[in-house]
Chain A
C-alpha cells in the first residue's frame, strides 16, 4: 500500500531500457518517501526477469505470466494493472513514454480517475499549499516538464488523486543497479483473476520489431540540425561532417517536421535525450524542448546565422555564420590536423 510502482516493459525476455531507468528513479523516490518500490511485469515466460528487476532495489515484483499476455495488448494489460492498482493503491506509478506506456498509461489513469503527466524531464518530491482549501500537502510528486511554447517549465502535481502517474522518455533518467543481491519478493499473480476473455479481442496478424538502426544515443559526437539548415539537401553537409568525425546526425523537431530527416533522429523532450562528448548544433535556435534533450552534452558548438540564438548561451563555442561556409572549413581543418 502507498508505495512507488513501476510498470516494466518486456521485450524478448528483457526488461526495456526505459523501465530500468524508471526503476532507478523509483528507488530514489521510494527512499525520499520512506516507502517500498514495487514493480509489475506482464508477459509470457517471465522466469528470467526477476533477476533483472530486483537488483534495482525492488521490494515486491508482481508477475502476470500468460501466453496471451505477450506481445503487449491494450485491454489485457490495462485490466491487470488497473486491478492490481486497486488492490495495492500505489501513491506513484511510473511508465515509459514509449509506444506501450503512452497506450497503457492514459487508459489506466482514465479507469482510476488519476492524473497522468506525459514526457516528464524531471521527477522530485515536495510540498504544496492550496490557498483555496487551506490544505497543506506533503510528499507530493513534482512532475516537471517543459510546457507550451517552450520557454517555460511547468511543475505539475496531483494533490488528491492516486496514483500520481507520470511517463518519462527513454534516456532521460540514468539507470543504476542498486545491489545485485537485493532481496525482493516475487508475487505470481493468478492471471485468470485479472483478465477476462473479452479483453482478448485484437488479433495480431503481423509484427516486425527491429533494433534501432541508428545509435544516436550511444554516439560520442552528434552533429545536429534544425530548421535553420534550410533543406534536405543542406543536411548532407551535416552527414559529411558526422562521417568525418565518426559521429551521428541528429535533428530538432522543427527539422523533422519540415521533413529534412527521418523521425528517429529527433533530439529533445519528445525525442531522444543524449549526452555526447561533443554536440554540434547547426541552425538550431535552442528551444527548451530541444535543450532538454542535449544540454548535458560535455561540449557544445552552436553554428547559427543569428548571433542572438538562445542556444548560444549554453554553447562552449559560438560560431555566427552560414553552415555552408563553416562546415566545409571544419572538415578541412579536422583532416589537416589529424594528418
Chain B
C-alpha cells in the first residue's frame, strides 16, 4: 500500500482566547508573560487530518514544521505525543519580524529540503493574527495547488483526494490530485489526545539548544537515540535570499500602534432594581428604539 510524506505546518501562539485584563501592561504593550503559549488550535485540526491518513496508510510519515523561537519546540513535542513521527524547528534571529509573506518564504525554502512531499497540511489561520495567509502563500511559493477551509478528507485513493470545504455560505466538495497544500478549519474533527506510550517515549525529545540549557550531556543521547533529537534549522540550513527574510523581506510594515482610548459616552448606570429597569424599558419604547 502507498505511504505518504506529510508535513504539518504549525505555529505556537499566545492564547489570545483567554485574554484577561492583565494582558496589557500599563504602557500599552502586550504582557506576553501572562499569556500561555499554545499549539495553534486549527493546526491541531490539521495534525489530526494527517494522523488519520497515517492510520489508513501505514508507513506514512507525519512531520511537523514550525518556525519560531526556541521554546516553540514545545509544540513539536506535543505533536510527537499525539502521533507525529518527527518535527523540525526553523529558528533564527534572521527570521525575526517576518510578516506572512517572509514567513511563507522561509517555510517554503525549508519545505524544499524535506524531500518529495505529497501533502502539506496547515490550520486555516493562527489565532494571534487571524490572517489565513501563510497556507496559500506557501502553496504559491512552491507552485503547488491549494485547497483551503477543508473540513473533511472524504477519500484518498490513487493519489487523488476528495475534500469537503466549509465556505462562508455553504459547502463544496472537490476532487484533485496530490501533491497539494490544504488548510483545515476548526470545524474539522478535533485532534486526538496525547498517547501515554508516546508521552513516555518522547518526553525527552529535545532540541540541542534545550539540552545545552539544561546542561545535559547531549552528545551520547544524540548518538544513542536519534529519534529524541528535534532538529533545529537556522538560516544556514536552508537556501535563502537574505533580502526575502525577516523584517527586510516583509513588504508590510507596522507604521504605528495606538492604544485604544475609549470615547466614553455619558452612560446611565442602572441597578438591577425593578423600577430602574422598567424606567429604561419605558425610555426605549418612547424613543421608538424598541416596540
Contacts and interface: CB of A to CB of B under 8 A. Distances in A.
Q: Tell me if chain B binds chain A.
A: yes
Interface of A: 71, 74-75, 78, 98-99, 102-103, 105-107, 109-111, 113-119, 128, 142-143, 146-161, 201-212, 221, 245-246, 253-254, 257, 263, 269-270, 277-278, 287-288, 298-299, 301-302, 310, 312-322, 325-326, 329-330, 333-334, 336-338
Interface string B129-167: 111111111111100011111000000000000100001
A118 B132 contact: yes
B114 interface: no
A151 B28 contact: yes
B194 interface: no
A245 B252 CA distance: 45
A263 to B, nearest CB: 8
Contact of B267 (A287, A318, A322): A318
A231 B105 CA distance: 42
A314 B253 contact: no
A102 B104 CA distance: 15
A156 B254 contact: yes
Main DSSP-derived SS at the A contact region: mixed
10 contacts: A74-B147, A98-B168, A99-B149, A103-B148, A107-B146, A110-B136, A119-B131, A148-B129, A154-B257, A155-B254
Contacts of A334: 281, 285, 290-291
B262 interface: yes
Contacts of A152: 28, 30, 257-260
B263 interface: yes
B148 to A, nearest CB: 5
B246 to A, nearest CB: 14
Contacts of A246: 290
B197 interface: no
Nearest to B162: A205
Contacts of A209: 167, 169-170
A201 B265 CA distance: 55
B166 to A, nearest CB: 9
A111 B140 contact: yes
B284 interface: yes
B264 interface: yes
B196 interface: no
B289 interface: yes
B7 to A, nearest CB: 18
B96 to A, nearest CB: 16
Given A148-B128, A155-B258, 8 more contacts: A74-B145, A99-B168, A119-B131, A204-B174, A207-B172, A269-B130, A326-B277, A334-B281
